[in-house]
Amino acid sequence: MNTKTRNIVIGCVVLIIVACIGSAVLSAFAGGALGSLFTQAADGPFKIARRPMPSGTVVDDLLPVTVGPFTRAKIEPDPSGGATATYQDGRSVVVVSMTPYASVDDARQAVAQVRKETETSGGTRSYAVGMEPSYAYVPGLGRMAWSRGGYFFDARASNQSDLDRFMEKFPY
């Protein structure tokens, strides 16, 4: 075996060993902090990717009468087949708009529009557009917009705590 071939073989062996060690380290972290970071990023805020996909056109199913401690106080249908619902829990108020779009891409474009509107809002923002689910999460504004399939949802609260409590229980 000449020197060049021997060096190539040694290099390949070193690469295989490094890959195995890296894989073992990643696996060890998968159940720990690193793994939860990857899971959180993949699931989106409030683990929306793990929630069921909405279906149908019945507004009471898409914007339920109760969401955890919140009760739907008012609902305003719109011509698109969507609606805007106002939920209350004492003094806490969350307003959610829901629009069914003809396509997944149209719903994602609605999320992209919210992203554009909130880019200069300051504070922490988290966006994922063009994937399932797409979302624009702006905690400083108490706002979360997301798409699930061809459905677009936009939740707004006067503060982050109210949004958090609502989103923990919202079905989609």
CA dihedral for 52, 80, 88, 117, sign (positive or negative): positive
- Cα–Cα distance, 122 to 104 (Å, whole number): 29
Residue type, 151: Y
Q: What is the pLDDT of residue 43?
A: 87
Query: By C-alpha distance, which of 169, 154, 166 is closest to 78?
Result: 154
**55-77 pLDDT tens trace:** 998 998 999 999 999 999 999 99
Region of poorest pLDDT, from 54-63, 86-95, 96-105:
54-63
- For residue 54, pLDDT over 90 is answered with yes
Q: What is the mean pLDDT of residues 111-132?
A: 85
Q: For residue 90, what pLDDT is reported? A: 95
Q: What is the pLDDT of residue 5?
A: 62
Regarding predicted confidence, which is higher, 43 or 75?
75
CB contact set of 56 (below 8 Å; sequence gap of 6+): 62
SS3 state at 49: helix
Q: Where are the domains of the chain?
A: 3-43, 48-169
Query: Average pLDDT of the chain?
Result: 82
**Which residues lie below 8 Å from residue 114, measured CB to CB, with a gap of 6+?**
136, 143, 145, 154
> Is the domain defined by 48-169 classed in CATH 3.40.50?
no
Helices (H) and strands (E) in the chain, counts: 5, 8
Helix (H) or strand (E) holding 110: helix 104-118
Q: Is pLDDT larger for residue 18 or for residue 7?
A: 7
Q: Quick one: average pLDDT of 140-153?
A: 94
Query: Rounded to whole angstroms, how far apart are CA atoms 147 and 77?
Result: 19
Percent of the chain with pLDDT over 90: 59
Pick 71 or 21 by higher pLDDT.
71
Assess whether pLDDT exceeds 70 at residue 23.
no
**Cβ contacts of 65 within 8 Å, gap of 6 or more:** 71, 72
- For residue 92 the two structure tokens come to 């806490």
For residue 168, the model assigns a pLDDT of 96
- pLDDT of 172 over the 90 cut: yes
**Cα distance between residue 157 and residue 85, in whole Å:** 12
- Tell me the mean pLDDT in the region 29-39: 35
Q: For the chain, what's the residue count?
A: 172
